[in-house]
Amino acid sequence: MTMVFVNFPVTDLPRSIQFYEALGFKKNEEFSTEEASAVVWDDHFWVMLLTPDFYQKFIKDREIANPKTTSGVLVSFSLDSAEAVKQFAEKAKENGGDYYHIDMGIPEDQMFGLEVEDPDGNILEPNWMNI
């Protein structure tokens, strides 16, 4: 079984944990410390929230990008419906994040996605496709 672990640098770990829990992620205490927290969507998709000092250990002497001004990655994942995508985005906005829509020229009944930002500017792309 393949699992995906997305690592995000975050400036306020408790705030980030609270934000992701509000979106439906569950904190995994076994893989959480004062420097990092694992928040789990399902058995295959985890987000690792890392303090800047801890994140820096993994990138050697590279600079940590400020996700509010520099994009390094977009993380897409599927949800069960366009409505679930909208609900996910609204929860993000209600809890200190934001979202926006990119018009791809594809009808919503065929494909729908939103760009969802966490409080640090990291972007998740929940999407639904009628396949």
CATH homologous superfamily, domain 1-59: 2,3-Dihydroxybiphenyl 1,2-Dioxygenase, domain 1 (3.10.180.10)
Distance (Å, rounded) from C-alpha 18 to C-alpha 24? 10
CATH architecture of the domain formed by 71-131: Roll (3.10)
pTM: 0.90
Predicted local distance difference test score (pLDDT) of residue 113: 97
- Please state, in angstroms and rounded to a whole number, the distance separating the CA atoms of residues 63 and 84: 35
Block means of pLDDT (10 residues each) for the chain, length 131 residues?
91 98 97 97 96 95 92 91 97 98 93 97 96 87
The pLDDT of residue 76 is 94
For the chain, the domains span 1-59, 71-131
Confidence at residue 89, expressed as pLDDT on a 0 to 100 scale = 98
At 75, which helix (H) or strand (E)?
strand 75-78
Residue 1, pLDDT score: 72
1-59 shares its CATH topology with 71-131: yes
